Chains A and B, each alone.
Chain A
């Protein structure tokens, strides 16, 4: 007990030296606290956000796989030879509503509960306008500076999966659009929920209603929503009727009544169609048009080629089906990916043919990138701080012990055992270190949030500049520096995490405590090594 008393008195009596040690430990503590807060914030942001997140995902055909398969089948790498084969393969492997419903019914292992929490879908048709002209976004692009930190959603890619066109770039030839290349995309949604881009207050939403109303879910009435720019360009208003025409058959027209006008703030084109040229209707209408087109063109085709066995009708409108699955957790999403792979294999297909992608997860990961960068920096900074701090403390300990050599000799001559002497020095270091850690951790935890947010803001700005630079730099097939997310996942509009909340929790406090003890041990053991080496007779003799 007297050792503790002596140690505490000794701290007071050598206040200058201990303040110096305290300041160093304090700086380490503040730095470590901020660094660990950043680490904790990154971890918390990742786990908490994913926990409560509804994950939307889609199943797509792996274009790279189809390209390889087409090359294998044709024995050529010439795109003009490959494209028909790719087109055939795409048709062969295309998933329809019944396929999607099978996937929807996949159960969680050992339960009757479905992995899929919810499910919706849409179908799109490439079509021309008869009574309306398409709105050319590139013509007005010079007036709209690309300031939005957005990355293309489902950018047109070549068969190998490389990005070939970025938003707001001059339109390039679209290999996928060769079947029916219309000016407009008529997209039919199964429900309002399927219209993911629509919303009122949601920051993620890019589409908002300006006039009129959205039609009833999956209505069979020929009604539609048009984009504000298109409406203005063609002087359209609610209740006007637009006529659309099959690009391959000018006789085949469809009249749709405009029930609403919406504004799309996105500049990202989908399948080569600019956002203003997307006309929205219900899934039932698109399917009805498709069925009707099949009938109309089948009759015409039969009359034209009465002696042909080939009943395939190339002039008919064909919709592109997209199903969207909603999962309640990342685990469900991951299990679903495995199940899709297994299902493909059980059907005698390659397990890699279908890929499950989620723009939510990809966007979420992309949104965390600045924080992850900051975390990486903070981790390096933490190790550096601890290493430098430990070295400085060792040096101070060595100097301190040399200064106190006489005291050690005197105490040893009085019969104080080396073990107790070591304990004495350890208590001194531990007390000073823990007090400094306590103050440092308190101030560090208070400072960590504004400091983290300030650093995060800088990182976000830097990231946005990088994004902007990559958007302005054209990406060519097989080249370019833009990273494509894992598994070909597509990234929607990236909302970077710019703020973190209070991030010092029990784990951070515990780590701080361990750092304090660690530094004390490093410093204390240096002292102890010297103490064990010293001999009182030598100390006192040398003093004489």
Chain B
């Protein structure tokens, strides 16, 4: 049984069907890359997996339970970490506050979070997350989101999604604004989460280099069954 499964999922925007009858099982311990042309439904698929959007038909199962029946907020706050294409960070808050807020919403205690070592307090843990995405916490930790670059914002969005170490990490173009070296560093973080911490990482990307680093690559085509390469 996969950690997250698509069961005959379809999604149709008004007069515009995007995904039709999709079935798939995502497994723990693997990094998935979803590729495809614009309009193929990559972001829509990610939104459905994150519980933000509901399928038009079919359903999505997480750990054996359909997510439309479970507490959607608990699912979003504890089980799935989402890295949005537009980051969706809170601009008036600092880097540390953004990450801490996500951690607080999840309700997870520091003792439950052992993926990146052990820490005395939340600040140390958050600083380690900032380091994991290649930033210096002393430099950016207290800066407001609007005061850091787009690339730094993207890394902070990743750090925020990792903050509560969810079972599934969904990332919409997580390396879109990063240079190739940093992108590879980020991918290594995802691979570490998948391989070492047994998480399921699902990434939407246009980058072939990033897709090549993934364990599994899914190519979406408009109104077609997914194609496993």
Show the binding face of A for B, using Cβ within 8 Å: 2, 6, 9-10, 13-14, 406-407, 409-417, 536-537, 540-541, 543-544
Contacts and interface: CB of A to CB of B under 8 A. Distances in A.
B164 to A, nearest CB: 9
A544 B85 contact: yes
B125 to A, nearest CB: 15
A401 to B, nearest CB: 15
A407 B104 CA distance: 16
Contact of B104 (A2, A409, A413): A2
A417 B74 CA distance: 8
Interface in B63-107: 73-78, 82, 84-86, 88-90, 92-93, 97, 101-102, 104-106
A468 to B, nearest CB: 63
A415 B74 contact: yes
Interface in B154-178: none
A415 B101 contact: no
Given A2-B104, A6-B101, A537-B52, A414 B89 contact: no
B47 interface: yes
Nearest to B101: A6
| Chain A CB within 10 Å, residue with most, of B50, B90, B106 | B90
B101 A13 contact: no
Given A413-B76, A415-B73, A415-B74, A2 B88 contact: no
B88 A9 contact: no
B77 A415 contact: yes
Given A2-B104, A537-B47, A543-B86, A413 B92 contact: no
Interface string B7-46: 0000000000000000000000000000000000001000
A414 B77 contact: yes
B53 interface: yes
Given A13-B92, A544-B86, A413 B101 contact: no
Given A14-B92, A543-B86, A544-B86, A2 B101 contact: yes
28 contacts: A2-B101, A2-B104, A2-B105, A9-B93, A10-B92, A13-B92, A13-B93, A406-B88, A407-B90, A410-B90, A411-B90, A411-B101, A412-B73, A413-B50, A413-B52, A413-B88, A414-B82, A414-B102, A414-B105, A415-B73, A415-B105, A416-B77, A536-B52, A537-B47, A540-B86, A541-B53, A544-B85, A544-B86
Contacts of A414: 76-77, 82, 101-102, 105
A461 to B, nearest CB: 54
A415 B89 contact: no
Contact of A417 (B43, B50, B73, B93): B73
B73 to A, nearest CB: 5
Given A412-B73, A543-B86, 9 more contacts: A411-B105, A413-B88, A414-B82, A415-B77, A415-B105, A537-B53, A540-B52, A541-B53, A544-B86
A267 B104 CA distance: 82
A40 to B, nearest CB: 42
A232 B106 CA distance: 100
A2 B93 CA distance: 14
A544 B43 CA distance: 11
Contacts of B52: 413, 536-537, 540
B154 to A, nearest CB: 15
Given A9-B97, A13-B93, A410-B89, A416 B84 contact: no
Contacts of B75: 415
| 7 residue pairs, one from A and one from B, having the closest CB atoms | A415-B77, A415-B76, A2-B104, A13-B92, A410-B88, A537-B52, A417-B73
Contacts of A409: 88
B76 to A, nearest CB: 4
| Chain A CB within 10 Å, residue with most, of B75, B88, B92, B106 | B88
Given A9-B93, A413-B50, A416-B105, A540 B78 contact: no
Given A9-B97, A537-B52, A537-B53, A415 B88 contact: no
A14 B73 CA distance: 26
Contacts of A417: 73
Nearest to B102: A414
A540 B88 contact: yes
A187 to B, nearest CB: 84
A541 to B, nearest CB: 8
A411 B160 CA distance: 12
A446 to B, nearest CB: 35
| Chain A CB within 10 Å, residue with most, of B43, B89, B104 | B104
A416 B73 contact: yes
B80 to A, nearest CB: 9
Nearest to A419: B73
A281 B87 CA distance: 101
B171 to A, nearest CB: 14
